[in-house]
Chain A
Amino acid sequence: ETGVTQSPTHLIKTRGQQVTLRCSSQSGHNTVSWYQQALGQGPQFIFQYYREEENGRGNFPPRFSGLQFPNYSSELNVNALELDDSALYLCASSLGSGLAGDWATDTQYFGPGTRLTVL
């Protein structure tokens, strides 16, 4: 069983550009969640996908969007980058039943993250 991987490791963009971050979940995991971790803070929930459908969203604007694919990979897209988007972006996969009551207890497996710097 392979772990959760993310690419690229580091990325530098300029303000106004668009970026796509990628995540490969553990095989068989139907749920992927994305988090933003600013320097000195804990991860902040962006959104979650379950079987290719968005299944919940945190307090992030629509320029943060995602995709989940049947091969257990997923993407986080950010348009019109702002300086405050500079952060570590983490994805986490879990088995996922789709039931709201199960989500909290479903163990999340995090990838190592992508460090995004916006200049």
Chain B
Amino acid sequence: DQQVKQNSPSLSVQEGRISILNCDYTNSMFDYFLWYKKYPAEGPTFLISISSIKDKNEDGRFTVFLNKSAKHLSLHIVPSQPGDSAVYFCAATLYNNNDMRFGAGTRLTVKP
């Protein structure tokens, strides 16, 4: 039962432009959402998170938006840099349950 979906397996953008990665979820009870970045041969690294009581969280070039009514999450990277090229996973969880659910990932390529 795949409760978190990333429908775009890949995304390619030009350096300096905006990257928008999308994520949809089905469980309206999720309290907390996270984005992870993964480089080849490395484990995922935490990027940014957002609580269900908020609709936006910003950290430097990275902003996460949450639309609870649409059960949709997005990550905006502005401006995109070649070093941002990686696989991005969105994840969702409940505060009282440590079973974190991940999407299948989106491979972002930022071209110089």
A48 to B98: give the CA distance in the assembly, Å. Answer: 8
Q: Within 8 Å of chain A (Cβ to Cβ): is B104?
A: yes
- Least Cβ–Cβ distance between A72 and chain B, in angstroms: 16
Select one of A42, A101, A113 contacting B95, CB under 8 A.
A101
Q: Within 8 Å of chain A (Cβ to Cβ): is B42?
A: yes
The residue of chain A having its C-beta at the shortest distance from the C-beta of B51 within the complex is A105
Select one of A92, A104, A110 contacting B94, CB under 8 A.
A104
B44 touches A33 (CB 8 A): no
B32 touches A105 (CB 8 A): yes
Q: A100 — which chain B residues lie within 8 A by C-beta?
A: 95-98
A102 to B100: give the CA distance in the assembly, Å. Answer: 13
Residue among A43, A92, A108 with the most chain B CB within 10 A?
A43
Q: B43 — which chain A residues lie within 8 A by C-beta?
A: 4, 90, 92, 109-113
B residues whose Cβ falls under 8 Å from a Cβ of A: 4, 6, 31-32, 36, 41-46, 49, 89, 91, 93-105
